[in-house]
């Protein structure tokens, strides 16, 4: 397994692979890898075949964090991440520095970004202004650096996957986007690097996100329910946990992300909840 830190070296490798028509699969991550990330790597390997090349990028992308967010304390453990990647048969781990990814940014000399203007408006986009601009920009850059045939993203970040699919189509990136199902702990908590923040009783309280999804699924099973009523019920249910505070819960069309005033089976639900200092997200089809 190769660890590549420079953009130029990664582009050289990609160019070499492409000359021999080798399929390249990319799994972009921010590191602190867990079984959810590794399930994406396994999918990438399946899609690219045993002769394909799998690249995992590990980069905590500063442009997708707001000024009051957890960029500086985001969990990191490169040594452990590299071991996981080696065990999964990853070919290259791309670990660039900020200066490689955003040359000149500290001197105010980086000035190009990608903005998706529709799907990124609500939910995470509304709660985290600029977040999807950072995500779209870094993913577009990774596509240009790694030149993958396919890239795997997780359904855990549902809106992110939708924004990236739209960007890929709109900007004609020759990349097939694959979206992998959410990998969960046995009690239902969606795996996340941010679960590291859940100390003591917070880990137990965090199960409230997946329980809220289960509650909504049961509520709409027989007949449609007004979104406003379901939102109010879920807020009460979630905030019954002492350290939990609902940021948003939304019900929407899974293709257009347009909110549904009446929630029916088949609607997509997404929510963000602060559990202590950790901001957790989850989503599912009802
Ligand atoms: P992150 O490192 O959190 O930016 O995540 C990197 C990729 O892994 C994204 O495409 C995420 O959607 C995906 N991912 C994160 N957690 C999970 C999970 N529990 N199940 C499936 N995919 C995940």
Is the C-beta atom of 190 inside 6 A of ligand 1?
yes
pLDDT given for residue 63 in this prediction: 98
Residue-wise pLDDT for 200-215, tens only, equals 999 999 999 999 999 9
* CA–centroid distance, residue 157 to ligand 1 (Å): 7
The tens digit of pLDDT for each residue in 160-169 reads 999 999 999 9
Find the mean pLDDT for residues 148-164.
Answer: 98
Whether the CB-CB separation of 227 and 262 falls below 8 Å is answered with yes
Place of tokens 């420079």: 6
Q: Is the minimum distance from the CB of 260 to ligand 1 under 6 angstroms?
A: no
pTM: 0.97
Q: Taking the alpha carbons of 162, 163, 169, 172 in that order, is the dihedral positive or negative?
A: negative
- φ and ψ at residue 250, rounded to 5 degrees: -135, 150
Enumerate the active-site residues: 37
Distance from the alpha carbon of residue 229 to the mean position of ligand 1, in angstroms: 31
User: Distance between CA atoms of 73 and 80, rounded to whole angstroms?
Assistant: 17
Cβ–ligand 1 distance for 36 under 6 Å, the answer yes
Q: How remote is the C-alpha of 89 from its chain's centroid? A: 22
Tens of pLDDT, residues 66-100: 999 999 999 999 999 999 999 999 999 999 999 99
Looking at the CA of residue 155, tell me the nearest atom of ligand 1.
12
Q: How far is the CA of 118 from the centre of ligand 1 (A)?
A: 22
Can you tell me the mean pLDDT for 114-123?
98
216 lines ligand 1 (CB under 6 A): no
pLDDT digits (tens, 9 = 90+) for 208-241: 999 999 999 999 999 999 999 999 999 999 999 9
Task: Note the pLDDT of residue 12.
Answer: 98
């Amino acid at each position: 397994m190769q660890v590549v830190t420079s953009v130029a070296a990664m582009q050289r490798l990609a160019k070499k692979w492409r000359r021999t028509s080798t399929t390249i699969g990319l799994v972009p991550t921010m590191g602190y890898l867990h079984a959810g990330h590794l399930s994406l790597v396994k999918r990438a390997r399946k899609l690219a075949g045993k002769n394909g090349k799998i690249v995992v990028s590990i980069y905590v992308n500063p442009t997708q964090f707001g000024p009051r967010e957890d960029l500086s304390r985001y969990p990191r453990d490169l040594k452990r991440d590299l071991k996981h990647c080696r065990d999964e048969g990853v070919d290259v781990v791309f670990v660039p520095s900020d200066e490689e990814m955003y040359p000149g940014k500290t001197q105010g000399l980086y000035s190009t970004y990608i903005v998706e203007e529709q799907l990124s408006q609500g939910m995470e986009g509304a709660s985290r202004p600029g977040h999807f601009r950072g995500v779209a920009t870094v993913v577009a850059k990774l596509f240009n650096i790694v030149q993958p045939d396919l890239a795997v993203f997780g359904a855990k970040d549902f809106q992110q996957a939708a924004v990236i699919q739209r960007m890929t189509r709109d900007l004609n990136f020759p990349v097939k986007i694959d979206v992998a199902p959410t990998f969960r702990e046995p009690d239902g908590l969606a795996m996340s690097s941010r679960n590291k923040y859940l100390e003591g009783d917070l880990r137990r309280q965090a199960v409230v996100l997946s329980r809220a999804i289960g509650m909504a699924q049961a509520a709409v099973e027989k007949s449609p329910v007004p979104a406003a009523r379901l939102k109010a019920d879920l807020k009460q249910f979630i905030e019954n946990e002492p350290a939990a505070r609902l940021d948003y819960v939304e019900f929407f069309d899974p293709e257009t992300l347009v909110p549904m005033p009446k929630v029916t089976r088949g609607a997509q639900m997404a929510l963000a909840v602060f559990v202590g200092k950790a901001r957790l997200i989850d989503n599912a089809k009802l």
